[in-house]
Each structure stands twice: as C-alpha cells, then as structure tokens.
Amino acid sequence: MKRSLSFGAILSVSAFVASFSMNSASAQDVPWDAQYQGYVALSTDYAHRGISRADESFALQAGVELEHNSGLYGGVDASSVDFNDSDEAKIELDVGAGYRGVYENVRYEGDLSYYMYPGANDSLDYDYAELSAKVGYDFDVVDTEASISYSPDYLKGSGSAQYYKLGAEVPIDAWPNLKATGHVGYQVIDDERNFGVPDYTEWSLGAEYSYYGLDFTGEYSDTDLDEPSECVDGCDARLVLGVSKSF
C-alpha cells in the first residue's frame, strides 16, 4: 500500500540540512585544508538498487560531506523511508568515511558506511555496515565506473551480501548541461528469506540536466524480480523524477 511522505520525516531531514548549511556556505571558512559540500533533494521515490525504500512514494533526502585535500572524506546522508512496517522506520541515516583519488586519469575510491534507522524496533535488524570500492575512467565520449560492495550482515539481518555494479554517463554535446546515464547491478543475498527477495539483477536508464543551480533527474529502472511471487511490492519498473540543490 502506498503512503504519503510523513510530515515528521520531512522536518527531521530538513533539520539535518539546516544544521550544516551555515558552516558549509563557504569552503574558505573550513580549516585543515578541507572543504564542505552538501545537497538537498526531493524525488518521486527512493529506489535503492531497484527496490523502493519509500513505499513507492515521495522521498526527501539531504547530505553533507567534509573532504580533506589528501582525499580522505567523511559525511552523513539522510533520507525519508517507508518500509511499510507499521511506521517503525521513517528516517535512514548513512554515516560514512573513505578515500578517493586519481591516478593517470583513473579514479578510485574506497569507503565504509553504516546505515541506521532511528525509531525502528531492534528486532527488525535494519541497521547494517557496508564496505565499497570503486574505479572509474573517463573516455571523453563516455564516463564509466565499476564498483563492488560488501556487507557482513545486510538489511533485515539477511547475512552477508555483495553488490556488483557497472555504470556509465554520456555527455550530450548539443546540450552542455545534459547527460545520459545508465547502470546495471547484481545483488547477492545470503539469507533471502529474511531479506524478502532472492538474488536479483537491476538496471536503469536516465538523464540529468543542470539549470540555474538546480539538478533535474529522470530515471527509468527495473529488476528481474517477479511481483508478487518473488517480491511483495516495490520491485517492478518505475520512472523516478527528482530535483536537487547542491551547496
């Protein structure tokens, strides 16, 4: 069953953004050869690896990151969520740290993130940690990236999990602020019964456009899961629209 975004969730995420916005207004104000960057976004769904974490409804998201010139960084992301679990979880907090750099035009990055769901009953076992590694290369006509993620005990106490992803972005020469995007990913779950779905493949095709300081996105995504035999809800094809503002 679809639900509208709760007012309390909107206030919670908005407060998260406000708490950092004044500090991040100017990168020159930050010591230790570091700078802040952040964003706030609104989208028609929060589809995480092809599966909705917002009960196929609107999601408000925000984040802030502190990056040192050495490549070390740390940050916090927040999103409204709705797992259709009797109002247990309303906010997802992702606290992470990592390192990124470039070697002869090859981008690389490694990070460790911890996902928390304040207010959710401990018996739901939502909280989990995840380690990720990425490598990317820009061929001018297409920017590519490959990544792998590992969690020793994934969402809902579903045991070890791995996620493999290949992504690409293609700039549109006729429209300097427009680019086409796409990816394919494969999620492996140890305890499929706890997680609720078997191992699956997901993919997306979309576009991003920047206009007067706002970033607009449109993404069509799908999985190879069948509803309702393999997935109760939230795993089918969808078009997700979003708008975000960076600061």
Please report which confidence band the pLDDT of residue 33 belongs to, taking 50, 70 and 90 as the band edges.
confident
pLDDT tens for 89-103 read 999 999 999 999 999
CATH number of the structural domain spanning residue 81: 2.40.160.40
Summarize the confidence of residues 34-49 as an average pLDDT. 95
Distances (CA, A) of 74 to 15, 21, 95, 111: 19, 16, 8, 9
The whole-angstrom separation of Cα 190 and Cα 247 is 39
Q: Is the pLDDT confidence value at 148 over 70?
A: yes
- Give domain status of residue 110, yes or no: yes
- Average of per-residue pLDDT across 21-39: 66
Q: How far is CA 30 from the centre of its chain?
A: 26
Average pLDDT, integer, range 228-238: 93
**pLDDT at residue 1 tops 80:** no
Domain contains 2: no
Q: What's the rounded mean pLDDT across residues 187-198?
A: 96
**pLDDT band at residue 32 under the 50/70/90 scheme:** confident
Between CA 52 and CA 55 the distance in angstroms is: 6
Confidence tier at 34 by pLDDT (50, 70, 90): confident
Q: Let me know if residue 184 belongs to a domain.
A: yes
Task: For the chain, give the mean pLDDT.
Answer: 90
| pLDDT value of residue 5 | 47
Domain count along the chain: 1
Look at residue 1 and tell me if it is in a domain: no
Residue 3 confidence (pLDDT) above 50? no
Contact 202, 219 (CB under 8 A): no
Q: Give the domain range for residue 59.
A: 7-246
